[in-house]
Every structure is written in structure tokens, then in C-alpha cells.
Amino acid sequence: MSDTLDHPRSPLTAKDWAADMEVRWCPGCGDYAILKAVLKTVTDLGLDPDRTAFISGIGCASRFPYYVESYGFHTIHGRAATIATGAKLARPELDVWVVSGDGDSLSIGGNHLLHLVRRNLDLVYLLFNNQIYGLTKGQASPTSRLGQVTPSTPEGSIDQPVHAGSFVLGAGATFYARVPDVAQAQLVEVMKQAHDHRGTGFVEILQNCIVYNDGAFAEVTGKATAPERQLWCKAGEPLLYAGGRKGLRFDPAAFDLVPFTVGEDGFEVSDAVVHDPTNRRLAQMLAARDDVLAMGVVFQTDAPTLDGLHHARRPAAKEDLQALLEGRETWVVA
């Protein structure tokens, strides 16, 4: 076992990346699809499992590291971001992937997510958003919708839900993407981009909890309704959805994006806002919508990473520890 990380990339298959461990999610859980996509992503990227670490908090999503044949650390509730920060600072060459759920990231771990994102640590952050606490049997989470009836909110949730995208963009995220768990190909593609992004590649995955919140995204992902609810962002292209029949235009009076139908009320394709993934204001407007959900890479910009700055700033090593111990003023007792 050598300490060096200078090992060559190996041609591995997705099977090689699967840990020899019984996967314990509920049958039909969206997590299976995400696991499959992640294994394909790391395989396609040709990553080295010996220099890759999956780090998670607590919750269904956070069991993830046990199932990947790399380094893995299943930590404590909400704190994965802190452990990941320490690991990345200690070993910048380490390819770090944080896996976390909506309760883990946006409730108990909200503070750490805020700071991880603003520091722009160079890692991938996968948020499995199923809008429910699954592992504790179905309580309302910070992304649960208003009025949602759960064992902890029998009269319906009265907490305003948080948009994960709005939160991280507000904290200064340099990369925000969103994908539903069922969009396997796009999920792989987006995760590759998140990995190649220098900084925190934050990916919100809409994940179905089949036991406690089944169908939370049925409309968003259902065959018939999906076109009306998903808008795939492409840099330099107009923000269109519903097969190009609808779009989002900027309404100066509302100071917001508003939907329109092409050819109605005098609006044409040319009225749709052209997507610029480097525009944080635009990304904020997209992330805050509940009607049509922006998918794909909503925002991406270049910024220095914390790990980069941290190591760049480190002073040149001094060897003379003895002189340090002695300090500036010493005297001799004979």
C-alpha cells in the first residue's frame, strides 16, 4: 500500500465499481436508478476508485457510499459537507462525491451546505430530493409541499418549502443542475459536467420515494405531463418547453420570467429568453419556479476553489522547528 495518489487510470466497468454489498433500499426506490447512473458516470469518466471517496450524511440517500467500490464514509446527519471539506483540504487529489438527501442537506445540514457552496470546494454534491423524510418513516421535509399530510403534519404542512436551487444559488453556487431520477441518460451527462466543473458541482436529483411520497414528481416525470413541466436548459438556446410550443419570456413589469405559448398573444419563439448559464439572476428566476422546472445545467460559472486557494496560500515549508520552539526571546540558566 503506497501513499501516493499517482496511480494510472484503469479501464473498469460499472460492475467493477459496484461494491460487494447487499443494497438495502426499498424495491422500486428512485435511488436504484441514481446508483446505476453514478456507477456509469464514474466508469465513463475513467475515475480511479482508489482516489475516489463517496461521503454522505444520514438518510436513505446517505447509504449510498456502502454500495460503491471506492472509498466511502457514511457520517452523521447533516455533516457530510464538513467531513468532505476536511478530506478535500487534506488530500486535494481526492475525487470527492457528497451524497445527501433533502432533510440532510437543507434542514439539519443547511448551514454546512451554505458554507460548502460559498467556499466552492472542488467536489460533486448530489442532493437526492424526494421531499420527505424516508428513513424516519415519512415526516415532512424542508422541500415538502405546503399542505402535505404526513405523520408529523396530520393537518398538512404549513412550512413554506425551500427551493434547493434558490438556496445554493443564493449562497454563491458556481454550478447548479437539476435532473429527475428517471432521466438516466441526462443524469449521467449532467453528473459528468458537474464532475468536470472546477468547484462545487451541485446536482439536485428529483427522486421518487415509493413508500412515503410516491408520485411526488408524477406530473413532472409522467409521459403525458412531463413536456409541460420540464424545461431543459441549453446554453445559447431559447428557453422553450412543451415540444417548443411554449417558452419563458422576461416580463419587465413582473420582473420575472413568465410562460407564453408560441403564436399566442403576439409572442413568438424570439420572445423566449436565450439561456445563459453564467447569468445568476436568470438561474435564480428559473430555480424558484414551481410550474415549469428548469432541468439540466441551469447555472455554471468559473470561480476560484477553496482547496485551490488554501494550498496556493500555504507558505513555503520551514524546517527549523527547534528555532520555532525557542521563539524570539530566550535566556540561559547556567
Partner 1 sequence: MNAEHGTARALVVRFAGDSGDGIQVTGGRYSAAAALTGADLATFPDFPAEIRAPAGTTYGVSAYQVQLGRDLVRTAGDLVDVLVALNPAALKVNLEEMQPGGVIILDQSAFTERNLKKAGYAVDPSTDGSLAGFRVVALDIQKLTQAAVKEAGVSAREAARSRNFWTLGLILWLTGGDVAATRSWIERRFEQDIAAANRLALEAGHAFGETAELGRIEPILGVAGSPLPPGRYRSINGADALCLGLVTGAKLAGLELLYGSYPITPATSMLHTLAKLGAYGCDVFQAEDEIAAIGVALGASYAGKLGVTGTSGPGMALKTEMLGLAIAAELPLVVVNAQRGGPSTGLPTKTEQSDLFQATLGRNADAPLPVVAASSPGDAFDCAIEAIRIAVTHMTPVILLTDGYLANASEPWRVPELESLPPITRPDPAGRSPYQHDPETLSRPWIPAGTKGGRHRIGGLERADGSGAVSYDPANHQRMTELRQARVQKIADFLPRVVLEVGEPGDDLLLLGWGSTKGAMAQAAAELRAEGLKVAHLHLRHLAPFAHDLEALLASFGRVLACEMNMGQLAFLLRGHYGRPVAALTKVSGRPFQVREIKQRARQELTGALGAVA
Site for partner 1 in 23-52 (CB under 8 A): 49-51
And the C-alpha cell for 223?
A: 409521459
Q: Could you tell me which residues come within 8 angstroms of residue 286 by beta carbon, excluding any fewer than 6 positions away?
A: 165, 231, 233, 239, 248, 257, 294, 298
Site for partner 1 in 105-134 (CB under 8 A): 111-112, 114-115
Is residue 166 within 8 A of residue 177, CB to CB? The reply is no
Minimum CB separation from partner 1 for residue 144, in Å? 25
Binding string, residues 169-198; x marks residues near partner 1 by CB under 8 A: ------------------------------
- Taking CA atoms, 22 is separated from 76, 246, 273, in Å, by 21, 45, 47
How far apart CA 218 and CA 208 sit, in angstroms, is 9
Check residue 7 for interaction with partner 1 (CB under 8 A). Answer: yes
Size of the site for partner 1 (CB under 8 A): 61
Check residue 330 for interaction with partner 1 (CB under 8 A). Answer: yes
Minimum CB separation from partner 1 for residue 22, in Å? 9
Minimum CB separation from partner 1 for residue 57, in Å? 10
| Phi-psi region at 42: left, alpha or beta (left = phi > 0; alpha = psi -120 to 50) | alpha
How far apart CA 226 and CA 272 sit, in angstroms, is 20
Of 60 and 231, which has the nearer Cβ to partner 1? 60
Order of strands across the sheet that contains 240-241: 240-241, 246-251, 256-261
Binding string, residues 48-87; x marks residues near partner 1 by CB under 8 A: -xxx-x-x--x------xx--xxxxxxxx--x-xxxxxxx
Site for partner 1 in 280-319 (CB under 8 A): 310, 313-318
**Phi, psi for 173 (deg, rounded to 5):** -55, 145
Minimum CB separation from partner 1 for residue 2, in Å? 5
Q: In which element (H, E) is residue 310 found?
A: helix 306-312
State how beta strands 95-101 and 293-300 pair.
unpaired
| Binding stretches for partner 1 (CB under 8 A) | 1-5, 7, 19, 21, 49-51, 53, 55, 58, 65-66, 69-76, 79, 81-91, 93-94, 111-112, 114-115, 310, 313-318, 321-322, 324-327, 329-334
